[in-house]
């Protein structure tokens, strides 16, 4: 009977069949990547072309094309999966044109909702930044645990969520994307990508990935097609069991977007265009939500606006991709360092406003807030085995300069952690990067989020994997 079902699935889903055929043998892919020197050894240079596991752009493009075809024929193409308005498929799936070159097509960022069974486990991973070594170490660990069989999940209860920033600042952005697309092709409904601030042409042209593509493949590289693959990734994914959700995204809060319509829509997955972001209107309608600090209110006046995104940072930055969070509860409610930094009080207000009596957005799971030094957050990420919960009850700004060893004794990180209402969780960056090396971090981390019928029973298990 199972064989008959499998046969019918293949007959009825030619895109799925072609996707499966595009996936290489994991062991062979792992073997050719093992020859690559670490980013720490390269120190900002690229490896010898003779070592490249994808010698020609066509080798990468086969998997890229399979990924684009899978998305073009999958849920994103279903008008019923979109709330309120579906983007024009002729533009949305036209990979020969781009929004960043002459504005030939519109920039159309969107949100997603993903409803999982109560017994599901969501595996979560933060920034990769061209670190294929750590990504493959993670997949090796999941294979050893019998969760994966090569690229494929063994059981339907598992989902994999990546929180963005796949390239830049590392030599192996191409290999990272190739590996991620292979995972997606092997598990079309169970691998999900949130779009980070580095999934943006204007950023990769400044921080290394564009140079990497050109150095590896020259004129062979279809850069526009690679960049357009990012437009198929939601800027935020609300993940839950139908009544309780976690906001999963790369950056931080976006007060201009109201997800209630998306969350209330039946079925899964569901998508919604961000449309106009009403940040200023949100702020003006909630007197006192940021407190009374004149400096905080001045920042809100300066940085909140009502706008329709024309690009990730034009005319203003999309908060889901860019914003950050304070570390301690006694910091200002709102700050600014390259982007807006939200404190505990306004974050919890936005989560409450996104919720209803029946649907609750409980917490935030994200990445993004990394620097190549042991500042207060990076120190806590290392001390907490790669996953840190902001606004710990027993911490304040007086603890800001504690060492990693002192923080580890103080925070006493557990392998399995509960998820308080209104909490924010930041995932560490992969260690074979400028961040990992300079912060003396030699391990990569994934979170295992285990759902349950009642939110109080949801748990985040931390899996720390040694890389160096």
Quote the CA–CA distance of 222 and 355 in Å, as a whole number: 42
Alpha carbon separation from 398 to 303, 326, 344 (Å, rounded) = 29, 14, 17
H helical segments located in 244-362: 260-264, 279-284, 294-303, 319-322, 344-354
Task: Check if the beta carbon of residue 313 is closer than 8 Å to that of residue 338.
Answer: no
φ and ψ at residue 146, rounded to 5 degrees: 65, 25
Instruction: State mean pLDDT over 203-208.
Output: 97
pLDDT of the residue at 223? 95
pLDDT band at 318 (very low <50, low <70, confident <90, very high): very high
In tens, the pLDDT along 263-313 reads 999 999 999 999 999 999 999 999 999 999 999 999 999 999 999 999 999
Confidence of residue 15 (pLDDT cuts 50, 70, 90): low
Mean pLDDT of 377-386: 98
pTM, entire model: 0.95
**Is CATH 3.40.109.10 the classification given to domain 1-468?**
no
Given a cut of 50, is residue 166 above it in pLDDT? yes
Q: What is the DSSP string of 15-51?
A: HHHHHHHHPPPHHHHHHHHTTSPPHHHHTT----GGG
What pLDDT, on the 0 to 100 scale, is given for residue 104?
Answer: 86
Q: What pLDDT is attached to residue 101?
A: 86
Residue range 223-242: average pLDDT? 97
* Exposure b/e, 214-230, CB count within 10 A at least 16 = b: eebbeeebbbebbbbbb
From CA 264, how far away is CA 244, in angstroms rounded? 11
Q: Where are the domains of the chain?
A: 1-468
pLDDT at 103 over 50: yes
The answer on pLDDT for 70 being more than 90 is: yes
pLDDT band at 3; cut points 50, 70, 90: very low
Per-residue pLDDT at 22? 84
Give the whole-number percent of the chain exceeding pLDDT 70. Answer: 96
Alpha helices in 209-315 (DSSP H): 209-217, 223-229, 260-264, 279-284, 294-303
């Amino acid at each position: 009977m199972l064989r008959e079902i499998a046969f019918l699935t293949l007959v009825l889903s030619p895109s799925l069949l072609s996707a499966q055929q595009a996936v290489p043998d994991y062991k062979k892919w792992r073997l050719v990547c093992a020859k690559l020197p670490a980013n720490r050894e390269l120190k900002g240079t690229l490896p010898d072309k003779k070592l490249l596991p994808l010698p020609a752009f066509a080798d990468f493009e086969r998997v890229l094309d399979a990924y684009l075809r899978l998305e073009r024929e999958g849920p994103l193409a279903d008008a019923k999966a979109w709330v309120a308005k579906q983007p024009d498929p002729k533009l949305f799936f036209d990979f020969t044109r781009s929004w960043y070159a002459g504005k030939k097509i519109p920039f159309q960022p969107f949100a997603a909702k993903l409803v999982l069974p109560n017994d599901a486990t969501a595996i979560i991973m933060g920034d990769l930044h061209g670190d294929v070594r750590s990504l493959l170490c993670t997949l090796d660990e999941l294979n050893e645990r019998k969760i994966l069989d090569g690229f494929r999940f063994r059981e339907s209860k598992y989902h994999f969520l990546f929180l963005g920033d796949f390239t830049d600042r590392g030599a192996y952005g191409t290999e990272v994307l190739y590996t991620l697309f292979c995972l997606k092709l092997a598990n079309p409904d169970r691998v999900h990508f949130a779009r980070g601030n580095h999934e943006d042409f204007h950023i990769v042209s400044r921080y290394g990935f564009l140079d990497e593509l050109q150095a590896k493949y020259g004129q062979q590289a279809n850069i526009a097609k690679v960049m357009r693959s990012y437009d198929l990734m939601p800027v935020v994914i609300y993940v839950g069991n139908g009544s309780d959700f976690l906001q999963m995204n790369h950056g931080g809060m976006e007060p201009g977007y109201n997800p209630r319509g998306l969350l209330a829509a039946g079925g899964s997955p569901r998508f919604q265009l961000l449309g106009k972001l009403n940040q200023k209107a949100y702020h003006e309608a909630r007197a006192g939500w940021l407190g009374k600090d004149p400096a905080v209110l001045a920042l809100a006046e300066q940085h909140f606006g009502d706008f329709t995104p024309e690009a990730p940072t034009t005319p203003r930055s999309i908060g889901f991709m860019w914003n950050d969070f304070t570390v301690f509860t006694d910091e200002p409610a709102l700050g600014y360092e390259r982007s807006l930094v939200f404190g505990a009080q306004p974050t919890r207000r936005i989560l409450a406003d996104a919720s209803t009596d029946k649907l609750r957005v409980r917490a935030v799971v994200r990445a993004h807030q990394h620097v190549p030094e042991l500042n207060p957050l990076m120190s806590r990420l290392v001390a907490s085995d790669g996953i840190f919960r902001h606004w710990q009850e027993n911490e304040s700004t007086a603890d800001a300069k504690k060492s990693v060893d002192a923080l580890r004794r103080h925070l006493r990180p557990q392998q399995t952690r509960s998820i308080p209402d209104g909490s924010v969780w930041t995932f560490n960056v992969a260690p074979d990067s400028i961040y990992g090396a300079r912060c003396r971090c030699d391990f990569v981390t994934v979170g295992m989020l285990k759902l349950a019928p009642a939110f109080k029973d949801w748990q985040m298990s931390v899996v720390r994997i040694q890389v160096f």
